[in-house]
Structures are given as C-alpha cells and as structure tokens.
A and B are shown apart, each in its own frame.
Chain A
C-alpha cells in the first residue's frame, strides 16, 4: 500500500462542475502539499497545509489531521484547469508523492 493514496486516478468533468480530489496518507507529516502539473511538465505549488482549510480563487484545500485525509476542491471548473493534480506528504525530510489525479474539463 502506498504511503500517499489519491482518488480518483482519472476524472473528467464538464465546464462549470464542482470537482473534488481526495488524498489519504499513512505517514506522519509536518505539512501536506497540493501541486498542479500541466502537460508541458512544469509543476506549480497550489497549497501547503498543516491544518484546516485554505482558499485561493476557485481552489479550496482542506485537511483533517486526525483522519489523515485532505481534499482539493475546484469550483466552477474550466478547461484550463485540465492538468494532473498531485498531493504530497511532507515528513520534514522529503515529500512523499501520491500517484496524481488526471483531470480533464471539457467545454
């Protein structure tokens, strides 16, 4: 079993839909990161969470430390949101990556 599990692996949505990507981890963490990787390959850091909830534009990230679970929500999804979303557990020494969720948003 991977230390960081994401679901779903693939996700398709119509423009405007509300999207949720889930991440569960089994290791102790100092923080949890949500990353976005576009087809070109570059990675953008979306959020770094150690507790509670963060919001940036249409993106919301939550974390429940007791349940070792985090979610990334995208409201009013848009085709430009199409990318791979990766959660990564930060155990202070290094990041442990989930396998990613490939999101495609169609117009």
Chain B
C-alpha cells in the first residue's frame, strides 16, 4: 500500500526555538496533505489542510503564524512550529490523500518542548 513517512519521529527542543517536521508520500503524489495534533488519550485534531502550491487552510483556533505549513511539492509538506513552548508538546501526525477518498497516515512525530 501507499506509504507516508515523517521525520523526525521524535524531537526534543528548548522553549523559544523552532522545529520543522517533514511529511513525505514515498510512492505516490499527494495533492492534499493534512496535519493533525493529538494529545494523550484524545482523538486527532485537524490543524490544517495543505494543498500543493497554495497556502494552507487552517482550522479555527490554530495560529497560522505559529504553525507554518509549506507544501512545496506533490510529495512533501512541512510543518514548522515556531517559537515553541511547552504547551506545544504533542504528537503531530500527517496524512496524504492518494485519490478519491483514500488517505494514508504518517507514523507521527512526538515533540517535547523543555
């Protein structure tokens, strides 16, 4: 099946620094990628929808200046958490839409801000 990778899988950073997370579709082209956030024992929360070559669409309550999304190619989307704070510590997951309604998920990135 289609594979989506995320890098890094885990990252620890200091408060005030920025962290970039990459999401790649390895064997297919994805015109749309999604970024989710998940707190412990909670369901996934959609942060933004990323379309190749255009600006991301952010969900209500998600700060676009804090969570920068770039979908530079049909196989790569990046999420940059700027000026990270401890409350940004979370599990970030991306997914990529293959065709129709097929959607494949990355393995996730666990961010810890100290």
Contacts and interface: CB of A to CB of B under 8 A. Distances in A.
Contacts, number: 51
B91 to A, nearest CB: 6
B102 A94 contact: no
Interface in A28-53: 30-31, 33, 35, 40-45, 48, 50
Given A31-B101, A93-B49, A43 B108 contact: yes
B105 A35 contact: yes
A90 B108 CA distance: 21
Nearest to B46: A94
Interface stretch (A14-22, A58-66, A70-78, A97-105): A97-105
A86 B43 contact: yes
A86 to B, nearest CB: 7
B110 A41 contact: yes
Contacts of A95: 34, 44, 46, 103
A70 B91 CA distance: 28
A48 to B, nearest CB: 6
B93 interface: yes
A93 to B, nearest CB: 7
B105 A97 contact: no
Contacts of A43: 44, 93, 95, 105, 107-108
A50 B102 CA distance: 11
B101 A41 contact: no
A100 B43 contact: yes
B67 interface: no
Contacts of B108: 41-43
B104 A45 contact: yes
Contact of A94 (B38, B49, B93): B49
B43 A50 contact: no
Nearest to B107: A42
A41 B108 CA distance: 7
A41 B102 CA distance: 20
Interface in B47-70: 49
Interface of B: 34, 38, 42-44, 46, 49, 91, 93, 95, 100-108, 110
